[in-house]
Structure 1
């Protein structure tokens, strides 16, 4: 079912991307990879810049870029071990939560149903929510690592599960916009994230600007 484009008066749910939208944990992800490389004595070192432009990719595309010299089976096995390290590091040090997220998520939850949909590993959203202490405000979440479905399919899954009538997806890349279009819902672009997007339904330069707009506290001309 195609959902008509929503505006602030009709929106009933905010579906958030995670990396590049709610936080930047690429330093932590990079550390997990390099810890793994050191553990297996592989002469390979990644930088944050190496991973920045890969954020948001589905697992197989991400691993092809990070481990081109490995077979598909080797990539899958390595990623499983890297993700275990990553979970521990998130619990210990987390990442950079964007300014305004912790302040406004509780307020937004009073007006909208809040969800997180990401192409991350199975439990990364859970670890992020725990680290950020926003679990009471997130109604549900789903990651690519849970079912290996495309983002638009996971959007539709939550839309159907919760009978959402006018949701929007909030992300930071052009691929997020494409997935939103496939799901038939509006796309809100956060320009401070990892990517670019020229055809978003609305664009915000900060999480605070986004939140204030959707809380209806002022008009926005974007």
Structure 2
């Protein structure tokens, strides 16, 4: 990766915190509101799709639903998931605040996630890290894929040498689509075919940068 960076753009779930238990509870509450979702919604099932775009999540978890049912259930889940995130939050990874405080002294920090509008704000509130980040973007704002949202952050804030930090192949693809280095959060939920740097834990960024 380049010797000089001016900024870091972070994925959220699987990179900054683990909110799968909270999201799973939201899905289960949503399931109780309809009569057509017949499968159990487990923590492992939610973990397996965490970080994917919304259409992919619901196609994989509920392939037997009609398009209309899937969309209706997605909206109900979004409501319950956001309520759970605001009420309970997730589990920040160890030394999150200390590491962000260190990084913020040298780099401009941002978040780009495939989440709905309001979810990043819930993370910032629960983790107490809002003052470290200059901006953020998510799928829920315009329905754009992650690569486009990363591109928008780079352009809006005139970033010259950013890197993207994430834990999935989708994060890797978004990095490559924007020709920026990819820092792989190997402690997260997914895999990546290659990377420019690898983190065994979030705090490794302090020694790396």
TM-score (norm 2): 0.94
Of residues 2, 7, 11, the one that matches 1:6 is 2
| SS of residue matched to 2:152 | helix
- Deviation, 1:109, is 1.4
- Which string of whole-angstrom CA distances, capped at 9 and with x for unpartnered residues, describes residues 36-84 of structure 1? 1123244432111111121121111111112212222322222222122
Determine if the alignment matches structure 1 residue 40 to structure 2 residue 38. Answer: no
For 2:155 and 2:133, locate their aligned partners in 1 and report how far apart those are by CA, in whole Å.
17
Aligned to 1:206: 201
1:59 aligns with 2:83: no
1:60-209 aligned within 5 A: 60-209=55-204
Q: Is the 8 A contact 1:58 1:144 kept in 2?
A: yes
CA distance in 2, matches of 1:6, 1:206: 21
Gaps of 5+ in 1: 215-222
Aligned match of 1:20? 14
Conserved? CA contact 1:34–1:44, under 8 Å: no
Counterpart in the other structure of 1:30: 24
Structure 1 residue 170: Cα displacement: 0.1
Distance 2:40 2:134 in 1: 38
- Say how many residue pairs are matched: 208
Stretches of structure 2 that go unaligned for 5 or more consecutive residues are: none
Contact residue 115 and residue 140 of structure 1 kept, 8 A: yes
* Inter-partner Cα distance in structure 2 for 1:69 and 1:156: 35
Residues in 1 aligned to 2:191 and 2:170: alpha-carbon distance in whole angstroms: 9
